[in-house]
Amino acid sequence: MRRLDDRGVSEVIGFVLVFALIVSSISVFYITGNTALTSLKDDEQINNGDRAFIAMAENMNDLLNARGPQREGEIKLAGGTMSFNDTSALSLKIEAGGTTIGPQSVSTGSLVYQLNDEAIWYESGGVFRESSVWSTMKREPGLLCTPSHAIISTVSLSLETNATSVSREGTVLIVGRRAGTNVVYPATGFEDSGMKNATLTVTSQNDDAWEEYLTETGWDKTGTNQYSCTAENMLVRESLVQVKIL
């Protein structure tokens, strides 16, 4: 009788152990699987933000080339944040024919979509993607440097609304309006003969991506975040765009 009781107790203990193992396995699978699914979802969302910013940059480019007074675009935030950053700037000095213009500092401003530890930036015509450890350029701005021609086209954003940031699950509307264009060079009374030199200083959280882009497109690095371009012909313009985050 006791042996039967012992066998019954053993079977119960065995069942409890197997059941506990199954429950533990399900819990581990749920936690790891749910974490992986969340990570995949966030990766896809930041990739969508990537594509949306590139499309927005193309819309902004229409404004810069006077192909319309206003452009709009929607971006799904999915719990992320869209904000305006006013710390980005480009400083430019031009030397030609013994005359110097600048250095003149241009506050470019930036539109930034942040999701967890990654962010997408629209800054001076370019699109950047950055994390806490790296930064890369996804769309190039308009800064051409060759020995024969240099075209330096900067974009300055200003915010029309009081809302500097918006965070929600749904979409946000970005509205851009062309506010004018200033031709910095050639300027009236400025000697245009001979070679011209432009010195560009970049103030940006994406300085690594700026360095990679500039040094691969004909600019020489001459100091910390400072670059030089020498060309026979040069055009420098600043485009002004007012933006709303709705």
Whether the per-residue pLDDT at 9 is higher than 90: the answer is no
- Average pLDDT over the chain reads 83
pLDDT class of 97 with cuts at 50, 70, 90: confident
- What mean pLDDT is predicted for residues 115-129? 93
pLDDT bracket for residue 159 (50, 70, 90): very high
CB of 63 closer than 8 Å to CB of 155: no
Per the CB < 8 A criterion, the answer to whether 231 and 146 are in contact is: yes
Global pTM value? 0.80
Q: Would the pLDDT of 32 be above 90?
A: no
pLDDT recorded at residue 4: 46
Residues comprising the chain, all counted: 246
Sole residue written with tokens 């409890």: 16
Q: Among 3-12, 64-73, 120-129, 213-222, name the one with the lowest average pLDDT.
A: 3-12
Tell me the average pLDDT across 200-209: 94
Confidence of residue 36 (pLDDT cuts 50, 70, 90): very low
Is residue 33's pLDDT more than 60? no
The tokens describing 243, both together, are 């933006």
Q: How many CB atoms lie within 10 A of CB 96?
A: 20
Look at residue 239 in the predicted model and tell me its pLDDT: 92
For residues 194-212, average pLDDT: 92
pLDDT at 161: 77
